[in-house]
Amino acid sequence: MKPNAGAHAFGSAPAIIMDPPQVALADAQLFARRAARLRELVIRVPALDEYLAFMARLVQAQHLALSEHEPSWRPQPGAFDQALAHGLPPLGHVALRRDLDWRADLQAILASLELHVGQRQRPLLDQLRQLPQAQLEALAEAALDGRAAEPALRGVQPLVAAALQVAWVRLALQLPRAPARPGGEARGLCPCCGSAPVVSVVHNEQHRSGVRYLHCGLCSTQWHLERLRCSLCGEGGKLRYLALDDEDGKPFLPVQAEACGDCGGYRKLVSRDLDGHAEALADDLASLALDLALGEGGEYARGGFNPLLVIGD
């Protein structure tokens, strides 16, 4: 809420009554924004510069694939409306995984990466191109189920996940309206596709300033979740907020781990009120050092699978 501008002798009324959206769908500039943020982070986080530069190119390739290709498969007319009317995720990742043509998006992504990758990453592209169909399918299944693929294939999994994201975001852009916010046990799953969120984001725009959303790793839908409540188990009594500082004692990135003593898990919280350029998945990748520090501490386990960052089971 904005500072109160209308105070008078009888007390004060808020200057702006905020009515933030409960669920926000992705827009067509999602990947372009994410790529731009990754390019900023290349400079901010020199320890990961080569990796982040590659991810920036990958996400830019996603943007091109999204904007240049038409979906080869569309649901029946009225299917979205029916699903929305029944409170079902209209883009359920289990139901749609056989239908959506993410392979064409993977080809488009590989073709545009081909022009830009360095020698270090070229073997990844070659490995993916030579992969038998069954292994490619297994990689996609793992990414959609939110788990790491077998170690030999883990390096190429983010490329497959990137194609899946494009296919799902393309359909999300065609939804007639956002689904309702999930309640009860389902509040931790994307109301659009049923996937788990990667991180939560505190926003800074006027209409949702300071409001926290969970961010889907597949279709990039965001849905509101109250603050000061663990997004993994729903409790709120034993939360700690952990972050890494730079040499000057300032926050290294606008990212904290919301760690919960009740369930022993943490999920990262990206604060756009601290840095208006922050972006859910980009800032998650760039703050890998926070995951490593928490992993070493051993007290909290990461919650929130980032399909672009596959570091283990």
Q: Which residues bind Zn ion (CB under 5 A)?
A: 190, 192-193, 195, 216, 218-219, 221, 230, 232-233, 260, 262-263
Beta pairing class for 23-24 and 222-224: antiparallel
- Least Å distance, CB 42 to Zn ion, is 27
- Least Å distance, CB 192 to Zn ion, is 4
**CB closer to Zn ion out of 275 and 291:** 291
**CB closer to Zn ion out of 157 and 231:** 231
- Least Å distance, CB 164 to Zn ion, is 11
Residues 6+ apart with CB under 8 A from 258: 200, 230, 231, 239, 240, 241, 266, 267, 268, 269
Helix (H) or strand (E) holding 24: strand 23-24
For the chain, how far is it from start to end, CA to CA, in angstroms? 40
Return the ∠ at Cα 208 (arms to 191 and 36), rounded to 5°: 80
- Least Å distance, CB 43 to Zn ion, is 30
**CB closer to Zn ion out of 62 and 121:** 62
- Least Å distance, CB 72 to Zn ion, is 21
DSSP, collapsed to helix, strand or coil, labels residue 73 as coil
**CB closer to Zn ion out of 36 and 91:** 91
Strands of 172-303 (E only): list them: 197-202, 212-216, 222-224, 239-242, 255-260, 265-271, 301-302
Q: Report the DSSP beta bridge partners of residue 50.
A: none
Question: Which residue stretches of the chain are H helix?
Answer: 30-44, 49-68, 79-85, 93-96, 102-114, 122-129, 133-145, 157-172, 280-286, 288-297
The Cβ of residue 34 has, within 10 Å, a number of other Cβ atoms equal to 26
- Least Å distance, CB 179 to Zn ion, is 10
**CB closer to Zn ion out of 137 and 262:** 262
- Least Å distance, CB 306 to Zn ion, is 13
**CB closer to Zn ion out of 65 and 230:** 230
CB 108 within 8 Å of CB 69:
yes
**CB closer to Zn ion out of 52 and 281:** 281
